[in-house]
Structure 1
């Protein structure tokens, strides 16, 4: 699950990741931390894809191939099956053309009913992705957009995540970044509203899990209502075992704020989640982060900075 306005997706392979900082060690199964067996599997996987004409140099670097290998526990035949299914889906879905031409012109209207956005990065350098279901109005949502367009936007955002957001976060933190931290806010959502978007969420989950594997680093479900047991029972079968282990289900503010602040600096966490960030125009529309330092309209500024900016100066009023 992933969406919001983004900078134009890069048309070429991003530059190599920066040299890792001295304090950072690649997690197991990543470049720089592969066992001999894993290195052999990677080489075999790469050569088999080349032999079948399925290898695209511009998209299929070793980090990408390793995502599919990790998703299938370095079983090369299973990884290749998953990879080839993904390539088939990309052609059928028209991913390359969407990246070039898709415009989600209804973003501001959709944001009123189903905010889905990236906002800064956590302490590990991972882009933070947030979905809020508390204002979900399914009827109004499907007046201004369709499930098909929501899924197209989702895919364009996944592509931007890989080609734009991750490289920018890696450059900012000083070591490769391959995953995101997701916050799903269920505050105030009704079970009936969830059921109405169940098909979209199921389709979005399938796309993320099957075609963009190993992109989730941590998933925090917050403000989970009493009825969430039923919701989780509906979602859980769509997820694999590895994904389920990354999910943290938390209750209200007293439960989730301390946990989020362990992972996210207070100044970049939106105020509504216990942080101190108040982007001009709202955090959900700012798209602020290393990939877009000034944000869509303006980056977050402190109350003190606002006061200074709003003071008259030589007969003029300055604005952020």
Structure 2
């Protein structure tokens, strides 16, 4: 059995890399930041050069490229194609345009049927993501929202995982955290709802696997209904074998195994923990990303502020009101503080 590589500082590119959080993986793992071979580091450089030659300028930082390389077993050409496919998808849904101003006012109503939320951290310091599938009623949900908006909101949440959630968790843990701990509660999913649930889960799985590689740390499927084993065998066919190893299918007696990974005080009471956030855990978004000591404004927030603040002399000459707006706008440093999310009650 080959020995794990010795830890070494991540080789970064100042043109693309600007990390203000740890960049070494928490445990020695081949191909992960801090444990790269010289050949793997060279493959990062090669992938970046190929993408630059294709005209890409965004998301070429080292950690992002490493995730795509790991997802394709460090095959540079396959990683390149996966990255390009992801960028095309982002352009099709205009993700970078809508991210800074995205609003999802129907969230609370949708959550009555399908709660999906991030809530605190597991024992490794990773964000805990929870889905409760028992009340899914797609017909009722689509009177509130649309399938496109639901998937877009999911993509927005993935973007917010990348920044600011995971950086905040990494700062607090003192190591690089790139994945989440997911809990999928199947309580209440009977035969009448099974087809709705599994068809939607399939579309969500495709989005996460194709466009957000290497984000799953662990997945606990709890309260798995009778007969789920056969369905799980089918679902496994959609997933990479490495991903399958991270998934734990548990019945109603899941508490001991789940609490071994998630502290009781971080787990909502309805799932066997002790947490009862004021206003409900589902809408609290509690976690290090809401704690001033660990969070920083996301890069996409800064871009929004820069675009809103800057007013050129030509614009002021043509529109005197722009001058008043520019004068009233906060200075960049003040804007960053104002944009930082307020701490949520835990």
TM-score bracket, normalised by the shorter chain, equals 0.7 to 0.9
Distance 1:177 1:61, change over 3 A: same
String of CA shifts for 1:51-79, please: whole Å, max 9, x gaps: 222232xx221000000000000011111
Report deviation, 1:126: 0.8
Superposed, 1:301-320 pairs within 5 Å as none
Checking the alignment, whether the CA contact within 8 Å between 2:133 and 2:185 is kept in structure 1 is: yes
Q: 1:263 aligns with which of 258, 261, 264?
A: 261
How far apart, in 2, do the equivalents of 1:15 and 1:76 lie?
24
- Secondary structure of 1:165's aligned partner: helix
How far apart, in 2, do the equivalents of 1:132 and 1:148 lie?
20
Superposed, 1:65-214 pairs within 5 Å as 65-214=65-214
Partner of 1:316: none
The answer to whether the aligner puts 1:299 opposite 2:341 as a matched pair is no
Partner of 1:18: 22
Report deviation, 1:292: 1.5
String of CA shifts for 1:6-58, please: whole Å, max 9, x gaps: xxxxxx9874323769xx445321221012221221121112112222232xx
Distance 1:276 1:91, change over 3 A: same
Report deviation, 1:197: 4.2
Distance 1:267 1:109, change over 3 A: same
Distance 1:19 1:232, change over 3 A: closer
The answer to whether the aligner puts 1:40 opposite 2:86 as a matched pair is no
How far apart, in 2, do the equivalents of 1:169 and 1:13 lie?
19
* Structure-2-length-normalised TM-score: 0.76
Distance 1:242 1:28, change over 3 A: same
Partner of 2:285: 287
Report deviation, 1:259: 1.1
The answer to whether the aligner puts 1:217 opposite 2:217 as a matched pair is yes
Checking the alignment, whether the CA contact within 8 Å between 1:281 and 1:297 is kept in structure 2 is: no
4+ long deviations beyond 6 Å:
294-297
* Structure 2, unaligned runs of 5 or more: 1-15, 293-340
Distance 1:258 1:103, change over 3 A: same
String of CA shifts for 1:64-95, please: whole Å, max 9, x gaps: 00000000000111111111111111111211
Distance 1:219 1:245, change over 3 A: same
Distance 1:203 1:296, change over 3 A: farther
String of CA shifts for 1:154-194, please: whole Å, max 9, x gaps: 01111111011001111111111100000000011123313
How far apart, in 2, do the equivalents of 1:93 and 1:73 lie?
28
Checking the alignment, whether the CA contact within 8 Å between 2:131 and 2:183 is kept in structure 1 is: yes
* Structure-1-length-normalised TM-score: 0.82
Asked which structure has the greater CA Rg, the reply is 2
Checking the alignment, whether the CA contact within 8 Å between 2:23 and 2:34 is kept in structure 1 is: no
- Secondary structure of 1:288's aligned partner: coil
- Aligned-residue CA RMSD (Å): 2.2
Report deviation, 1:196: 2.1
Partner of 2:276: 278
Report deviation, 1:219: 0.6
Q: 1:50 aligns with which of 28, 49, 52?
A: 52
Checking the alignment, whether the CA contact within 8 Å between 1:128 and 1:180 is kept in structure 2 is: yes
String of CA shifts for 1:194-228, please: whole Å, max 9, x gaps: 31244432222111001100000111000001031
Partner of 1:28: 30
Checking the alignment, whether the CA contact within 8 Å between 1:69 and 1:76 is kept in structure 2 is: yes
